[in-house]
Amino acid sequence: METDSLTMKNVLEGMWEVHWEISLEVKWFKQLRNNGVIRVEYVLREGNQLADYFANMGAHFVGTKEYNNIQEVPLQGRRIINMEKDEVPSLRIHKCQNKGYGCT
């Protein structure tokens, strides 16, 4: 599992206390981890396009959505998955707004 939240990584690995608002989710995660091998990795947001894709989908969807295989994932999500499998690097380029902070 990848997360762009170092705080969440530390909570899931048991290094930090669990906030009561997410205690049920953390308990569920730990049960999943006990049933198999799950590794939590911290990645910079720029390197986590798939998580961004699903987070944006979730922000516009009410309810629960579960994908049981790759064919059920929408086309845009499958493209991101395939790019990651093929180790295609991705770049996010932000337009510089203020010339006083290293912009040319």
The mean pLDDT of 52-74, rounded to a whole number, is: 85
pLDDT in tens, 74-101: 999 998 888 877 776 555 555 556 555 5
Of the candidates 3, 5, 10, the residue with the CA atom closest to the CA atom of residue 51: 3
Of the candidates 87, 78, 72, the residue with the CA atom closest to the CA atom of residue 50: 78
Q: What pLDDT is attached to residue 73?
A: 92
* Extents of the domains making up the chain: 1-43, 46-104
CA pair distance 18, 7, nearest whole angstrom: 10
**What type of residue sits at position 80?**
I
